[in-house]
Amino acid sequence: MYQSSRESMTMRRLALAIVPVAFGLVISAVPPAWAEEQAQQQETAALTVEVVKPTQQRWPVTVPASGWLKPWQEATIAAEIGGLRITDVLADVGSVVTKGQAVAKLAQDTVEADVRKQQAAIETATANLAKAKADADRTRKLQNTGALSQEDITSKLVAEQTAQADLDSANATLDSIKIQVRQTTIVAPDDGLVSSRTAELGNVVSSGAELFRLIRQQRVEWQAEVSARYRPGISIGMTAEIAVASGKTIKGTVRLVGPTVDSSTGRTLVYVALPTDDHPPVGVYVSGQIEIASTSALTVPDTALVFRDGMNYVFTVVSDNRVRRIRVDTGRRRDGAVEIVSGLADSDDVVKSGGAFLADNALVRVSGEAK
């Protein structure tokens, strides 16, 4: 009986030893491909991403430039008559004026008195002419009768011509004084914007003294300095672009390329006409660019770029929904997009954003139109 019990225990131990061996044989018989598929199904996707295709666009080739905003042309508004007092100032800095519009007035008392004085002189000259003409008419009637000497005849005829000349001179002087009356109203010589004013109420002006300065037709231009090596590629009519302090971008047109190069700086001036409706401030130093050509560019959204270890990368999605990290070289940037110079094909599916959270060969879920 004791022996039978020992045999039963030995049989149980043998059965327990056989079970793990048999289970191990079953596991080893499972195909490896099935095991990998099960592992993939159990792996969790790292991120849900949206993919985009690189696009070909026509992008401008630009030249950097910087310079001052200055008036296209300035006009000086000055007094044409001197010695008179300013009685009214009708314009100020920032005023928009039109050609012929009054901007200041001078006292007219003195010149109006001169007008009345000259009118009296004309009346005297007219009376003198009438008397001289009457004497000359009698002389012409008697000159063939021998009643008058030749000297008397000549004297009367010359007196008539002198009286006529005196009247003409008096009328011309009156016209001149009337011009001075008109000059007491100082007017703008052209349409424009008043940029400075020195006229003060009560001041006595001198002839030719500047009272106002005017930006003609409100036209402001960008006098851009560019490196001399770019000058051969710049021509009249090209598009230029500047950014003012408000963040607004203003586009203009090259109207003139400077004929000389500054020997101390190696730069030349390019004059860019700006639109009058933007009214950029004069005297501001701004930077911008001049478009000299346009070329094709392979672009992706700038959010697709990942910067690591001093290099630019993008992630592309391959057929098994895994991402592949690709090093790329970048070029121009514009309107939220970046040019890819090398490393990417236009058929690649590029992860639009979120690449900073991905690792090479990570499993992802694809959403959006490219899914």
339-366 pLDDT, tens digit each: 999 999 888 999 999 888 888 888 988 8
What's the rounded mean pLDDT across residues 66-90?
94
Same domain, yes or no: 224 and 290: yes
pLDDT value for 3: 44
* Number of domain units in the chain: 4
pLDDT of residue 32: 53
The larger pLDDT score, comparing residue 84 to residue 150, is at 84
Q: What is the mean pLDDT of residues 45-53?
A: 83
Q: Are residues 172 and 269 in the same domain?
A: no
Task: Count CB neighbours of 324 within 10 A.
Answer: 14
CA dist., res. 77 & res. 221, Å (int): 21
Please tell me whether residues 221 and 290 are part of one structural domain.
Answer: yes
User: Residue 61: its pLDDT value, please?
Assistant: 87
Residue 241 burial (10 A CB sphere; 0-12, 13-18, 19+): middle
Query: Taking Cα atoms as reference points, which of 63, 65, 62 lies closest to residue 285?
Result: 65
Expressed in percent and rounded to 5, the helix, strand and coil fractions of the chain are 30, 40, 30
The CATH number of residue 355's host domain is: 2.40.420.20
Q: Check whether residue 163 and residue 272 sit in a common domain.
A: no
CA atoms of 288 and 294, how far apart (whole Å): 17
Q: Has residue 11 been placed in a domain? A: no
* Residue 306 reports pLDDT greater than 80: yes
Q: Which of 183, 202, 231 is the last residue of a domain?
A: 183
- Asked whether the predicted pLDDT for residue 334 surpasses 80, the reply is yes
Mean pLDDT value of segment 178-191: 94
pLDDT at 135: 85
Look up the domain containing 95 and give its range: 75-83+90-102+188-216
Q: Are 321 and 364 in contact (CB under 8 A)?
A: yes
pLDDT of residue 75: 94
* Confidence bin at 45 (pLDDT 50/70/90): low
Which range among 19-23, 65-69, 191-195 shows the weakest confidence by mean pLDDT? Answer: 19-23
Of 294, 324, 354, at which residue does a domain stop? 294
Residue 15 domain flag: no
Last residue of a domain, one of 294, 322, 343: 294
In a domain, 20, yes or no: no
Task: Evaluate whether residue 193 is within a structural domain.
Answer: yes
